């Protein structure tokens, strides 16, 4: 990330507001509203997948592309696998201008708590790399790549 790639403040605020809806919609079970935050060809990538014993999700590394596939992923993972008993907290969000006035990029950290066993526990921590695109409906997520810790050491 560079120090001089600033967005106009109104664009940054619009992106931050849209991105805040990402976790609220996902965790509340609004899979359609969550997937609508992506561009039509948007993607979500899990770069790695630590096993549950090491604090990961145990889910396979994968890339899901396209709004309908993202919608189904939200149902399969958050609603079915985790019973909507997880909460995502996105922290340290950083957003900067992209290569055109209609593009932006950013980074964030995520902490995911799992409440399936009663008392919540920290289930996953990851670094997110983000790209955004301005559309006729406003700013949308173009891509997310999630790199979970602990990272597999080679």
The answer to the question of residue 2 being in a domain is no
Which residues share a beta bridge with 87?
113
Residue 59 in tokens:
């889910």
pLDDT digits (tens, 9 = 90+) for 22-59: 999 998 889 999 999 999 999 999 998 766 666 566 77
The answer to the question of residue 3 being in a domain is no
Q: How many whole angstroms from its chain centre is CA 7?
A: 21
The answer to the question of residue 140 being in a domain is yes
pLDDT digits (tens, 9 = 90+) for 72-106: 988 987 777 776 777 888 999 999 999 999 999 99
Length of the chain, in residues: 154
Range of the domain at 99: 9-149
d(CA 43, CA 64) in angstroms, rounded, equals 6
Looking at per-residue pLDDT, the higher value among 80 and 128 belongs to 128
pTM > 0.85: yes or no: yes
The answer to the question of residue 59 being in a domain is yes
Name the domain count of the chain.
1
The answer to the question of residue 23 being in a domain is yes
The answer to the question of residue 4 being in a domain is no
Question: What CATH number did the domain enclosing 105 receive?
Answer: 3.10.450.50
């Amino acid at each position: 990330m560079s120090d001089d790639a600033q967005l106009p403040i109104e664009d940054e605020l619009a992106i931050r507001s849209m991105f805040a809806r990402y976790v609220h919609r996902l965790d509340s079970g609004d899979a359609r509203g969550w997937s609508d935050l992506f561009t039509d060809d948007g993607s979500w990538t899990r770069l790695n997948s630590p096993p549950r014993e090491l604090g990961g999700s145990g889910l396979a590394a994968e890339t899901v592309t396209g709004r309908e596939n993202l919608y189904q992923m939200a149902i399969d993972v958050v609603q079915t696998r985790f019973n909507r008993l997880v909460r995502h907290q996105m922290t340290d969000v950083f957003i900067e201008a992209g290569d055109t006035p209609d593009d932006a990029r950013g980074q964030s950290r995520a902490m995911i708590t799992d409440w399936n066993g009663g008392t919540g526990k920290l289930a996953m921590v990851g670094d997110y790399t983000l790209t955004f695109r301005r559309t006729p409906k406003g700013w949308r997520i173009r891509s997310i790549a999630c790199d979970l810790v602990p990272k597999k050491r080679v």
